[in-house]
Structures are given as structure tokens and as C-alpha cells.
A and B are shown apart, each in its own frame.
Chain A
Amino acid sequence: MTLSADLAAVLYTVSAILFILALRGLSSPETSRRGNLYGMVGIGVAIVTTILVAGLGGQGLLLVGAGLAVGGGVGAVIARKIPMTDMPQLVAAFHSLVGLAAVLVALAAFFSPESFGIVGDGGLMKPGSLLELSLGAGIGAITFTGSLIAFAKLNGNMSGAPILLPARHLINIALAAAFFFLVGMMMSTGGADPWMMWALIGLTLILGFTLIIPIGGADMPVVVSMLNSYSGWAAAALGFTLGNLALIIVGALVGSSGAILSYIMCKGMNRSFVSVILGGFGGDAAAAVGDREERPIKRGSAEDAAFIMKNASKVIIVPGYGLAVAQAQHATREMADTLKEAGVDVAYAIHPVAGRMPGHMNVLLAEANVPYDEVFELEDINSEFSNADVAFVIGANDVTNPAAKTDPQSPIAGMPILDVDKAATVLFVKRSLSPGYAGIDNDLFYEDKTMMLLSEAKKMVEEIIKAL
């Protein structure tokens, strides 16, 4: 059975609409599950339509079935096993696969131009199609190697510290210029020389690598979002080659989604997108501040903290990535439950860059069975701190640092912060007094209303639960 091109186009549009509904569903947790289902149906429609319209049969169908079975099996196992703390790495790894797939599809089209309908007059490939193919392959290749680096940095296979090559901007500009030169040459020769295609893929593979290695581990949330965006643009470019509506629309959706997330992450850190991309900032091990004066702090015990919180009427918990590193989410939720039973009003405040990717902390709290309607974003809860008796900061530091507002010289100046200093009492659970990744001291530690709970996060919370 083969489908007419018109019917196929209609079906691709249906699948594109299903994808839009999938994203729309994410506007609230209640509708999100149905949205995800729409997405699955959408991709199913696209696959079946293509198999029918391309007239896949016999050996081809067998090969496709094998590919789907092997890939699908691997994907399903990964999806079941992956710990939620590793989501950023997983997403980076998945992006690299989309990038590589884009490169492979571009190659396939390049070597079978007739079947992809991109042959123009005189038996040569159309210049426009060659441009789309090269852009698809190039962006795909950058996404592939860039995501591999992001994966290695997030997964700890590689140091999070920025690696600065000498003259790196010059290298990147030269690579990009060479890429466009090759694209131009290929377009003018109608793609007669396959080496040009291989060469431009090679160039962009290197470019993906050199673009991402100078970016520090702390900026990875922006990088992952940006590569998300790139994978979309690569898909869109190939959508033009194939004249496929589903691919063009999906590419545009994913491209704008990733771009918006990058923007939100940059705003959350008050860093400009350009300065993130140029790199060199925010290694995991930021340079220690040498001449810090020793100032007195007020240390507290778990019993003190339990006493203060039990007598509070409103407690706001501020979790940071340190909470997840210490695997203290479940203990924290238990503590909150105990407090709620004692009649204390408990809420969670999440900074946009609390986790290692957009929305990461929300997933980690959801996994620990924290109800999502107790979890609030910065702009929704910041005014509440002045009514709170206790701000319980655990595994977070820079996102509460008042220096962002008061000290224009501070590296985090202008970054939106959670106003924990407005709460009557601030409890800081921290392993030591070391500064956060930005390498700056937090004045809040030394204030009268602050009590430092210096211990390993999970141990401290468990002790507080006992004391309650």
C-alpha cells in the first residue's frame, strides 16, 4: 500500500498538531500526562505514514524493524533505570543522538539525491537543497560533539573547569568561515565532489568540540538548553530538504523551546547569553577567595533547629543542588511532613538555577513525593519570606546571597535571589563555610538572625527529624 503525497502531508500535519498539544499539555501537571500521550501518538503517525509513503518493504522493512527494536529496547531500559539526579546528562546524551542522526540523514540524502527529490536540472543537486543539507549536517554535527562534551562535564568524566585553548575565538571563527566556504563551493559545483560533504561534517564536528570545552560546569544548564535548540534547527533544516511539514514544524517548536529555556537560565544567573557562549566562567572548583576575614558565626545544633521550626507558624524550605548531591530530598520531605503534622505551614522556594538544568529541582522534589502545589517559583514566593518565621536553606548558597542586590562589584550582581534575609530566622544547612561556585562570601552567614547548621545535609536533616 502506498499513500498519496497529499494524504501523507495531511497526516504529517496531524502529527505536528499532536506535538503542539504535547507541549501545550505541559502548562500544568494535570494535563501533562495526556500531552505526553499525544506526543507518542504523533511520532507513531509520522513513522507509519513515512513507511507507507516511502514504500518500504521486504529487506528495508526488516532493517527498519531491527533498528527500531534495538534502539527502542536500549532507550526503554535507559528510561527506566536512569536516576533523576542524572537527568541533565541523559538529556545531553539524547541531544547528541539527535545530532548524529541529523548528520546521517544528511549524508544519506547526499548519496541518494534522486530518492529525496533534490536533483535539479542537468542531474546535479539543487543549490538550495545543498544549502539545507549542509546546514542540517553542520548543526547536527555541532550538536553531536557539543552534547558529548556537555555530557562528559555533567557526568564527571571530564572536569567542569573551563578549558581555554589559546586563540579559541579565532579557531572558532576560522572553522565557521571554512564551513561556509565549503558550503558555497558545494553549491556552485552541485555537490559533485563528496569530499566536500565529508570535510564540512568534519569541520563542524571539531567546532562543536571547541565551542563547548571553554564553558564551565556551572554554565552547563544554559549549554544543555542551547543544544536542545540546535537539535531543533538541525531537524528543521532537513525538513526543508525533505519537504516534510512535520519535521519543519517540530524543528521550529524545539528550536524556540530550547532558545527560551536558554534565555530563562541566563536570566536566572544574570549572565548574558553571549558571555556564556564565549566561555571561561564558572568552573565547579572556583578559585578560593584568599583574604577572607574570619567573622563570627552562630552555630546551632539539630535540636536548636527543631525547636525553632516546631514553634514557627511558617517555614520556607530553600533547596539547592547540594540537597540532591547529598541525597537528602527524602529526608527533607519527611521533616516537612513532621512539621506539617505539628501545624506548621511549609512551602518550598525554587530558584530558576537551583538544579543543573531547567526545572531539575522540581523533578527531584517530585520524586521525593513533595506535592507540586507546595513548590513555588522565585517570583511567586519571594514576597512571602517577610511573613515567614524560618527560611531553611539546604544545599544552596549563591541564590540567597544579598550581595547580588547590594554589591555592584560582586560577580553575581544583579542575579535574582531568594529573599531569605527577610525571614525572621535563617537556618543554613552547609557542610562548611566555603563559598558557592561563584567564589563569593555570603554576608548572610554572619547575621544575627542566621544560625549555621554545619553538617552533612542528610545527617543534619535526619537529626532534626529525631529531635522533632
Chain B
Amino acid sequence: MTLAIILAGGAAVSPLVFQLAIFVLAIFVGYYVVWSVTPALHTPLMAVTNAISSVIIVGALIAVAAGTKGGSPISTWTGVIAVALCAVNIFGGFLVTQRMLAMYKKKER
């Protein structure tokens, strides 16, 4: 709805307002989705939210690109380290979640 209004509003909406609208909507999506998570899976939920918050790697990749294409070497190195840290989280987070979820079994009947 809100998006439609913004889009229909047309002309010049600043990108910030647009991003804020998406941000607020995503908080609502998060609120409803997370309340529907069964309490039995709250630990995997934390592990997987941790893994997906490593999508911050996007910023790290841009930093490496910036640094290696004539930007500040600080950007290159902070970027590379951030890529490695995020990679620990991404691989570690998703794999440990997978390991946990594989343990949840139904009663044998």
C-alpha cells in the first residue's frame, strides 16, 4: 500500500524516504514472520538470522572493489577482512543451522 502511494505520488521522492518505507515495511514483515516461528526452533532462528545478517558482506565486497580500483588501501584491507569475517558467519551459521535442523525428527509410528 505505502509503496503504491509513494510510487503513485510520482515525481521526485528522495531515495531516503523510499528506503525508509521499505525498512519500516520489512520490520512489519519480520514481526509477523518471527512470531510464527515455533519456539522449538528459536535457537536455529538465531543461528540463521545471524547467518543472513552477514549479507553485510555486500558492503565489504564494494569496499574491496573501491580499494583495488584506485581508492584508499584502507578500504581494500578493511574490506578483505570484513569479507573473511562474514564468510565465517555465512558458512558457519548456515551449516550449524542445517546440522541442528537435521536433528529434529518426528515420532516413529
Contact = CB atoms under 8 A, between A and B. Distances in A.
A315 B99 CA distance: 30
B38 A243 contact: no
A466 to B, nearest CB: 25
A23 B37 contact: yes
A111 interface: yes
Interface stretch (A170-178, A358-366, A385-393, A441-449): A358-366
B34 A256 contact: yes
Contacts of B92: 74-76, 78-79, 90, 94
A29 interface: yes
A257 B49 contact: yes
Contacts of B57: 43, 46-47, 50, 101
Nearest to B86: A101
Contact of B80 (A66, A79, A224, A239): A66
B6 interface: no
Given A23-B45, A255-B27, A359-B42, A63 B80 contact: yes
Interface string A225-257: 100100110111011111111111111111111
Interface string B80-109: 111111111111111111111111111110
Interface residues of B, number: 84
Interface string B35-74: 1111111111111111111111111111111111101101
Interface stretch (A53-61, A294-302, A410-418, A421-429): A53-61
* Interface residue SS majority, chain A: helix
Contact of A362 (B43, B48, B74): B43
Interface string A75-114: 1101110101001001100110110111011011101101
A202 interface: no
A238 to B, nearest CB: 5
A109 B89 CA distance: 21
Contact of A26 (B15, B45, B89, B98): B45
A165 B95 CA distance: 39
Contact of B55 (A24, A116, A250, A373): A250
Contacts of B88: 71-72, 74-75, 78, 94, 97
Interface stretch (A34-42, A274-282, A283-291): A34-42
B43 A371 contact: no
Contacts of B7: none
A107 B74 contact: yes
B16 interface: yes
Given A112-B71, A253-B33, A373-B106, A98 B54 contact: yes
B39 A362 contact: yes
A255 B102 CA distance: 26
Nearest to A233: B53
A371 B48 CA distance: 22
Interface of B: 15-16, 19, 22-24, 26-27, 29-31, 33-69, 71-72, 74-76, 78-108
Interface of A: 15-16, 19-20, 22-24, 26-29, 32-33, 35-36, 39-40, 42-43, 46-47, 50-51, 54-56, 58-60, 63-64, 66-76, 78-80, 82, 84, 87, 90-91, 94-95, 97-98, 100-102, 104-105, 107-109, 111-112, 114-116, 128, 224-225, 228, 231-232, 234-236, 238-258, 260-261, 264, 350, 352, 355, 357-360, 362-363, 366-367, 369, 371-375, 377
Given A74-B92, A115-B75, A362-B41, 8 more contacts: A20-B33, A67-B80, A112-B72, A115-B62, A248-B26, A362-B43, A366-B103, A373-B106
